[in-house]
Amino acid sequence: MDELDSALLRLLQQDGRRTNRDLAQELGIAPSTCLERVRSLRERGVLLGFHAEVDLASMGRGLQAMIAVRVRPPTRAVIEQFQAFVARMPEVISVFVLTGTDDFLIHVAVRDTDHLHSVVLDKLTERQELADVRTSVVYGHLRQNVIEPM
């Protein structure tokens, strides 16, 4: 990873729809060099993909929450089964598998508090392996749009 790779990553994170020609021009390199560098970043697994960012409220999912979950027994099989279950839930934005007090932190986006209540009571607490659940409503979310290499 050199300065050119870092600059390409920065530009692509700012706008993943930029054309190869635009990227090359901004960086002062040949389009063929730019194309090869982006291809290399993908092949090495640095660039995982390109995604469209959406406004959750516009999609009828204006309430976000973080749900901390503990499962029992904390075996590999139980953790993998629970992770697969929550990953299939349409309300789930992301799932974090943790160490410490909680086993999972589940980020959900739902219509309203009634929908959130239903997700917790009708979907999660129905699971036998669920030992504890704590829900926190998200008031705001700040996200870094550009991640720099260390």
Pull the structure tokens for residue 75. 């075996």
What's the start-to-end Cα distance of the chain, in Å?
10
Sketch the domain layout of the chain as residue ranges.
3-43, 57-138
Q: Is the peptide bond before 73 cis (omega within 30 degrees of 0)?
A: yes
The pair of structure tokens assigned to 104 is 């999972």
The domains spanning 3-43 and 57-138 adopt the same CATH topology: no
Predicted pLDDT at 109: 98
- Tell me the residue length of the chain: 150
Q: What is the pLDDT of residues 45-97, one digit of tens each?
A: 999 998 888 999 999 999 999 999 999 999 999 999 999 999 999 999 999 99
Cα separation of 19 and 17, whole Å? 6
Distance of alpha carbon 49 from alpha carbon 53, whole angstroms: 13
Which run of H or E residues covers position 116? Answer: helix 113-118
Are residues 71 and 136 in contact, defined by beta-carbon separation less than 8 angstroms? no
Residues 6-55: tens digit of each pLDDT: 999 999 999 999 999 999 999 999 999 999 999 999 999 999 998 888 99
User: Of the candidates 46, 64, 38, 42, which has an alpha carbon nearest to the alpha carbon of residue 143?
Assistant: 64
DSSP state of 99: S
Is the domain covering 57-138 a CATH 3.30.70.920 domain? yes
DSSP letter for each residue of 32-50: HHHHHHHHHHHHTTS----
32 token code pair: 């063929």
Q: What CATH fold (topology level) applies to the domain 3-43?
A: Arc Repressor Mutant, subunit A (1.10.10)
Q: Report the distance separating Cα 103 and Cα 123, nearest Å.
A: 17
Please, are residues 4 and 27 in contact by the beta-carbon 8 Å criterion?
yes
